[in-house]
A and B are shown apart, each in its own frame.
Chain A
Amino acid sequence: MLKVENVKKAFGDVIVLDGVNLTVSPGEVVSILGSSGSGKSTLIRCINGLEKLNDGRITVDDFDVSKPRDLAEARKRSGTVFQLFNLYPHMTALQNITLAPVEVLKRPKAEAEAEGRALLASVGLGDRADAYPSQLSGGQRQRVGICRALAMKPRYLLLDEVTSALDPEMTAEVLAILAKLATDGTTMLFVTHEIEFARQISDRIVFLEKGKLLVDLPAEQFFAPDGGLAQPRVAQFLSKMRKD
């Protein structure tokens, strides 16, 4: 269970998260929607321990990310895919994937490489294992980013606007992989602007607005007139996003 309890986070005077509560159970796909600046990415960065909380608690399988002793274990259980890929540019696609399994999980190198190659093959990059990030397209880089997170066998996959730096064609490449992961039962916390896609793959959709969680509903209810759409802010957001 991934639990976010009454989390508050401010940068200086700017309050970014204002008492957020959220629970993700194993096997669930939860999408986070919201305008830019609503705190979606910050929430992800709080869960993986990149930002310190001002108040509240985040636990990943009961490991508290605010406790230095627990953080390492919490991080082993969650894998992050970043908006701008954040690959290591001096390493090949395969090396990007095997670094953490070998160094952190102490897996034998040959084993980690065999698994890395299998992962790359599963996202259609079987022949690009030895390419450097600079030799890959954006969509290919993000697929490597997903493999890098999956190689750690995380219980929770955190996806931070993973397609927003990609053109529509590359977005489709990446979403196809996420859809497959969702059907395979991967637990995902998915920050996105791809509303239709979120609707298809999510069990639940939450809506973040000015650091507060306004709506937390099963996916279909979120789009129902008497569900999420009953919230004026959600209706406004959805109609605007669909027009774009």
Chain B
Amino acid sequence: MRYTEFTPFDLWLLTQGLGVTIGLFLATSLLGVLIGVVWGVIRFYRVPVLTQLITFVSEILKNSPVLVQLFLVFFGFPGLLKMNVTPVTAALITLSANTAAFVYVIAVSAIESIGRDQIEAARVFGLTRWQVLRHVIAPQAAAFSIGPLTALLVNQLQVTSLISVIGVMDLAKIGANLNLRTLKPFIVWTAVGILYYLAAKLVAMLGSALEKRLRAHSAFRGL
């Protein structure tokens, strides 16, 4: 067997890379959703200063390339903060923050989509702001946001491939290495592409299954 062959073992290597990709994706999505939702709640309570700060940070994160953010964290933070930033740490920080910025926007519009009349009813019956958020707004906002959130996460899954640039051994990085070794870009990148596709498809399917459950109360089943 020559080292330029693309062998079944290489497929195994790729799935290992896929494991790293999915692991980072899950961790950063979880963190990002958590942070984004907390930001949304802070805005719901109209906390002064903090709300403006969050909106500002979210604007910057949304309107600059992820690659630039990644370089800033990986190359910029060690000098500035005198800390050691590993590629995985840099990836975790950057992707979580970037996801959070977009989740924040989704959370804000989801909260604002809930009819004022229901909120007034709940307030009149004596529910506190927190109880209104927890029992009236949150369940409906979750159902509202699951669609945009799924679309965002499918996109963020693809965005993880950027971290290969700073040396994280994810699916894209393994693909690049295999490509250098085998010099068979068509086969390698097709295999890599299919693996990304399958992972993204899985995220989308989980998202729509969850959406169906959360929208059980709606009688409207589409045209």
A→B interface (CB under 8 Å): 48-50, 72, 75-76, 79-80, 82, 84, 86-91, 99-100, 103-104, 132, 134-135, 148-149, 152
Q: Given known contacts A88-B136, A90-B143, A90-B217, is B126 in contact with A72 (CB within 8 Å)?
A: yes
Residue of B nearest to A50 (CB): B120
Known: A90-B139, A134-B217, A152-B126. 5 other contacts (CB 8 A): A87-B118, A87-B121, A89-B140, A89-B217, A148-B125
Q: A82 with B121: in contact, given A90-B140, A103-B127, A104-B126 (CB under 8 Å)? A: yes
Please, which residues of chain A bring their CB within 8 A of the CB of B140? 89-90
A75 & B220 in contact (Cβ 8 Å cutoff):
no
Contact A99–B135 (Cβ < 8 Å): yes
The 8 closest A-B pairs by CB, nearest first: A100-B125, A86-B121, A104-B126, A134-B219, A86-B117, A132-B217, A90-B217, A75-B126
B122 interfacial by beta-carbon distance below 8 Å: yes
B123 at the interface (CB under 8 A from A): yes
Contact A49 B125 (CB under 8 A): no
List residues of chain A with CB within 8 A of the CB of B64. Answer: none
Q: How far is the CA of A79 from the CA of B120 in the complex (A)?
A: 12
Assembly CA distance A135 to B115 (angstroms): 18
Q: How far is the CB of B128 from chain A (nearest CB, A)?
A: 8
Report B211 CB to chain A, min CB distance, Å: 13
Cβ A134 vs Cβ B135 within 8 A = no
Q: List 10 A-B contacts (CB under 8 A).
A: A75-B123, A75-B125, A80-B121, A86-B120, A86-B121, A90-B143, A99-B125, A104-B125, A135-B219, A152-B126
Partner of B124, one of A80, A87, A88, A134: A80
Closest to B142 in A: A90
Cα(A72)–Cα(B117), bound, Å: 19
* B218 on interface, CB distance cutoff 8 Å: yes
CA distance A100 to B122 in the complex (A): 8
Residues of A within 8 A of B123 (CB): 49-50, 75
B131 at the interface (CB under 8 A from A): yes
Pick from A84, A87, A88, A89 the residue with the most CB of B within 10 Å: A88
Chain B residues 66 to 125 lying within 8 A of chain A, measured CB to CB, are: 115, 117-118, 120-125
Cross-interface CB contact of B118 among A79, A88, A100, cutoff 8 Å: A88
